[in-house]
Amino acid sequence: MKNVLRITAVALCCVALVACSQKGPAEAALKAAEASMNEIRAEGSKYAPEETKGVLTSFVSAQDSFNKGDYKVAMEIAQGIPAKSKDVSAAIAAKKDELGKAWAGLASVPAMVDQIKAKVEALGAMKKLPKDMDASKLEAAKASLADMTKTMGEASEAFKSGNLMDAVTKGNAVKAKATETMAALDLTAGAPAVTPPAAPAPKAALKKAKPAKK
């Protein structure tokens, strides 16, 4: 019986020694994993949320195993996190590239807004609106123009600050509204705006001066 207890005690000591020998490497692996996770955490939540969530979940699992004393499992999980973080970093870069191209595709939107503005101003300068236009329709176009101008300004600011997601979202919203407003104003992209008719010349100017009597 004494021999059994002695063997058991020795075995437990061996297990404890192995666990202690694994604690240091597991702790180091966790620190490396946390550092790599923090590098991609902020942008990853915006540009690659699902992939980033996977990295965060893995880190929590590794930390939980470490806290339970299961250093081997904690180290195995933690050691895989830097590679996952690298994949997230690549996904972020790909998403940024995609959004950059999407923003470039919105380059024609400011010109559309300017075209609408010119048409609205031209219609507003007319004494009598065309038969396919009425005051309520013109007021709606003015309201849309104000909204588009504001939103496009916000989109430009978002792009300058590096918030590509917000910039593209707002830019697409302006494009959709501009397309709708142009259709309501019977405008074709790139076509010149309607200019108000020139004011008639004064009648006095139309009369030819009579020759002076001798």
Least reliable range by pLDDT among 11-20, 105-114, 139-148: 11-20
**Closest of 147, 152, 194 to residue 171, by C-alpha:** 152
Which stretch of DSSP H or E encloses residue 124?
helix 109-124
Instruction: Please give the Cα distance from 76 to 61 (Å, whole number).
Output: 11
**Token representation of residue 188:** 């074709």
Distance of alpha carbon 169 from alpha carbon 173, whole angstroms: 6
Which two three-digit tokens encode residue 109?
């939107």
Q: Does residue 17 or residue 83 have the better pLDDT? A: 83
Mean pLDDT confidence for 186-207: 55
Amino acid occupying residue 41:
R
Do 91 and 46 meet the contact criterion of CB atoms below 8 Å apart?
no
Please report which helix (H) or strand (E) contains residue 10, including its range: helix 2-47
Distance CA 68, CA 96 (A): 39
Read off the pTM. 0.72
Beta carbons of 120 and 140 less than 8 angstroms apart:
no
Burial class (CB in 10 A: 0-12, 13-18, 19+), 200: exposed
Domain ranges for the chain, please list them: 2-94, 105-184
pLDDT digits (tens, 9 = 90+) for 61-104: 999 999 999 999 999 999 999 999 999 999 999 999 999 999 99
Residue where the block lists tokens 């004011």: 199
Mean pLDDT of the chain: 85
| Residue type at 74 in one-letter notation | A
Q: Do residues 182 and 189 touch, judged by C-beta distance below 8 A?
A: yes
